Amino acid sequence: MKTAHCVPVVMYHHISPEIGPITTSPQNFDAQMKGLVDAGYSTLSCDEFADFLAGKSTPPKSVLLTFDDGYLDNWVHAHPILKKYGLRASMFVVTGLIGDGPLRPCAEQEGMTLPRLPSHLECRALWTAGSTDSAMLRWSEIQAMRAAGTFEFHCHTYTHTRWDLVSKTREECLAHMRHEFEASHALLKEHLGGVSQHFCWPQGYFADDYVNLAHEFGYRYLYTTQAHGQNLCAKNSAHIYRLAVKNRGARWFLLRIWIASHPVVGPLYNKWRSWKRELRG
């Protein structure tokens, strides 16, 4: 039986009609997911992805879909589209921004008025103002998506703060990060019954002491925002590459996944992109 050479891990944030950075429209997301199904791709769980890294047989056309932060639009638009195509994804949630309350309408409910979805910049302003409910998921919605099998949920810290940028010393920075892990663990255990071994770095920042701290808290699979590398069998599970998805249709999406996973084209493309980045300084 053939097995995957490489499993691309793709990164989403918003699925929303609101135009903005790191936002994919519901129409393009639907086209991308239909493209995966039509092309014969399998969407993996994080544990199945971990099995691939450990050397277990994995379908050649496999992909891991990930979402960061935990925005309300993931419930309103991403969840119904994943359900429509029988696909699944993994979400890294900023646990301190998730609220309580009843389910809000989502796009699969005909005749219901959908909640207004803030743009990405509005969401960040609401974070700063401490008024996150109109931007972020509620635990009830997380539990509903989990029960439907469209999403599984993992840790993305408690506040999403870059403590390395605001701490006076490295010791202070690490103390804050320790609290991020402890507070997130408590909420995930309270609302979901446990914590996985999968963790995503806020804003993509990490260093050796961060990695050591994550390992101390039981996180073995550490997800970055770095795109120019391949996730291969037996490679470092503490450095997982993810490629950001653009607001484009299925043709671009499938080509990007093919490039990312190809044993020859992928490394050449990554070298070219890294070279271009070096030229830009």
Residue 206 is classified by DSSP as -
Mean pLDDT of the chain: 96
**Helix and strand numbers, DSSP H then E, in the chain:** 11, 10
DSSP code for 147: H
Q: Confidence band (pLDDT; 50, 70, 90) for 1?
A: low
**pLDDT tens-digit map of 121-167:** 999 999 999 999 999 999 999 999 999 999 999 999 999 999 999 99
Three-state secondary-structure class, residue 200: strand
State how far the Cα of 105 lies from the Cα of 135, in Å rounded to an integer.
Answer: 14
Tokens 């050397």, residue?
Answer: 55
Label the pairing between strands 23-24 and 221-223. Answer: unpaired
206-237 per-position pLDDT tens digit: 999 999 999 999 999 999 999 999 999 988 89
The residues, ordered by sequence, that sit 6+ positions from 107 with a Cβ below 8 Å of its Cβ are 26, 76, 77, 80, 81, 114
Tokens 């590398």 belong to 229
Residue 148 has what pLDDT? 98
139 to 203, 259, 281: CA distances (angstroms): 23, 37, 42
**Position 213: which residue type?**
L
Query: Per residue in 168-220, pLDDT tens?
Result: 999 999 999 999 999 999 999 999 999 999 999 999 999 999 999 999 999 99
Domains of the chain, residue spans: 9-279
CATH for 9-279? 3.20.20.370
* 3 state SS of 267: helix
Q: Are 36 and 261 within 8 A, CB to CB? A: no
What's the sign of the alpha-carbon dihedral 196, 6, 204, 116?
negative
pTM passes above 0.85: yes
Strand partners, 243: 10
Coil, helix or strand at residue 82: helix
Predicted confidence band at 279 (pLDDT cuts at 50, 70, 90)?
confident
